[in-house]
Amino acid sequence: MHLGDQRHWSTDPDPTGSSGPLDPSRSTEAESTLASWTARLSLDFNLDPQPPSLKTRLNHQHLGPLRIQKALYPEGASPCHAIIVHPPGGIAGGDRLEVLINSQLGSHGLVTTPSAAKWYGANASLEASQLIDIDLQGAFEWLPQETIVFNRARVRSDLDIRVGKHGAMLGWDHLIFGRHASGESFAEGHFRQSLKIQIDEQLIWHDRLALVGDDALFASPIGLRGHYTCATLWAILPAPETFSEATVQALREQAAQFAWTLLHPRLLVGRLLAEPRELKFLLQDAWAQLRPVVLGLPAVAPRLWAT
C-alpha cells in the first residue's frame, strides 16, 4: 500500500473553490481553510519472511501531522503494538485525516492512541473529515482512545473494513458528545459517521450515524436514551471459524450491558450506552473476553491504558 493509493480523497488545489481573485466576503473561510491540516498515514503490517522469527513488522509512511510514535512488542514477536499520534492535539474545521491500514496474511497488528481524539468546534462552512480504511488479511486490533465531539463541531467520519478469508479483528468506536464536565453540551453542529464491513467482497454491515446539535435522538428511547456517550465493538473471526450460540450467549451474560447481535457467522457486533468512565472499562472488559476467542491470545492490554 502506498500513499498514492486511490482509497484516499482527492485534494482540491484551490481550497477556496475559486479560480479567480479571492472574494473578500469569503476571506475568513479561506484563511481558515488554508490553516487547516491534511494528514495521511499508511501502515503495513507484514510477517518477517526470515524463519523462525514469525515477527510482525510495521512499515509506515506519513504525510502531515499524523505519525507513529513507536512500535512496541510487549507480547513477543507478535503482535506489533503501534501508537498513532496527531501532534496538533485535535481536529479542526477543514482538517482531513486518512489512515490506510494493510494487515497482511500471517501478521498481527494492534493500533491504539495515547489520548482522546478531539473534534473541535468550527465555522459553519467548514467540515472536518476522517477516513479509516482497513484491508484485513491477517489479524488486527483497532483500539483507539475515545473521541470527543465538541460543541459546534462539524464532522464526517468513514470507517471501511474489507475482510479476506483469513482476516480476524477486534475493533471499537467510542464517542462522547460535548464536554459535560465543563458544562458544554453538543448543542450545535453535526456528526455524520459511516461504518462498513465487507467479508469476502460482500457488504455485510453498513451502519450510519447522523446527529445534529441537541438532536432529539439523544433523549429518545430508540436513540441514546439520555446518554451522551456511546460505543460500538465488533469482532471478526477468520474462516472457517464461526461464532457458536454458546459463545454469544456467554457474552450476553458476562457483558450484559452490551446489546450483542450476530450479523454474520464470522461477525459479532456489540452496542453500549453508559457514562464515559464506566463505558471505557466495559469496553476493555469485553475486549479481554473476546480476545482469546477471536485471536487465540490472552488479553495483554496496551501499556498506555494504565497511564
Q: Beta 56-63 vs 38-47: how paired, if at all?
A: antiparallel
Task: Tell me whether residue 62 is in a domain.
Answer: yes
pLDDT in tens, 225-260: 999 999 999 999 999 999 999 999 999 999 999 999
Could you tell me what percent of the chain has a pLDDT over 90? Answer: 76
- pLDDT computed for residue 35 by the predictor: 61
Please work out, in degrees rounded to the nearest 5, the angle formed at the alpha carbon of residue 179 by the alpha carbons of 259 and 222. Answer: 30
Task: Tell me whether residue 99 is in a domain.
Answer: yes
In the chain, the number of structural domains is 1
Task: Tell me whether residue 32 is in a domain.
Answer: no
| Mean pLDDT lowest among 14-23, 56-65, 102-111 | 14-23
What residues have CB less than 8 Å from 89, skipping those under 6 apart?
Answer: 118
Task: Tell me whether residue 257 is in a domain.
Answer: yes
Task: Tell me whether residue 50 is in a domain.
Answer: no
Q: Which three cell numbers stand for residue 68?
A: 507513529
What residues have CB less than 8 Å from 9, skipping those under 6 apart?
Answer: 96, 98, 129, 131
Q: Which three cell numbers stand for residue 85?
A: 499520534
Q: Answer yes or no: is pLDDT of 14 > 70.
A: no
- pLDDT computed for residue 50 by the predictor: 80
- pLDDT computed for residue 86 by the predictor: 87
Among the listed residues 208, 276, 41, 9, the one whose alpha carbon sits nearest the alpha carbon of residue 127: 9
Does an H or E element contain 277, and which?
helix 276-295
Q: What is the mean pLDDT of the chain?
A: 88
Coil/strand/helix, residue 178: coil
Task: Tell me whether residue 12 is in a domain.
Answer: no
Within 10 angstroms of residue 207's Cβ, the number of other Cβ atoms is 16
**148 neighbors 121 (Cβ within 8 angstroms):** no
**Residue 120 belongs to domain spanning:** 55-306
Q: Answer yes or no: is pLDDT of 5 > 60.
A: no
Q: Answer yes or no: is pLDDT of 278 > 80.
A: yes
Task: Tell me whether residue 236 is in a domain.
Answer: yes
pLDDT in tens, 115-173: 999 999 988 788 999 999 999 999 999 999 999 999 999 999 999 999 999 999 999 99
Residue 216 is classified by DSSP as G
What is the DSSP secondary-structure string of 45-63?
EEE-SSTT--PEEEEEEEE
**298 neighbors 292 (Cβ within 8 angstroms):** yes
**262 neighbors 243 (Cβ within 8 angstroms):** yes
Task: Tell me whether residue 108 is in a domain.
Answer: yes
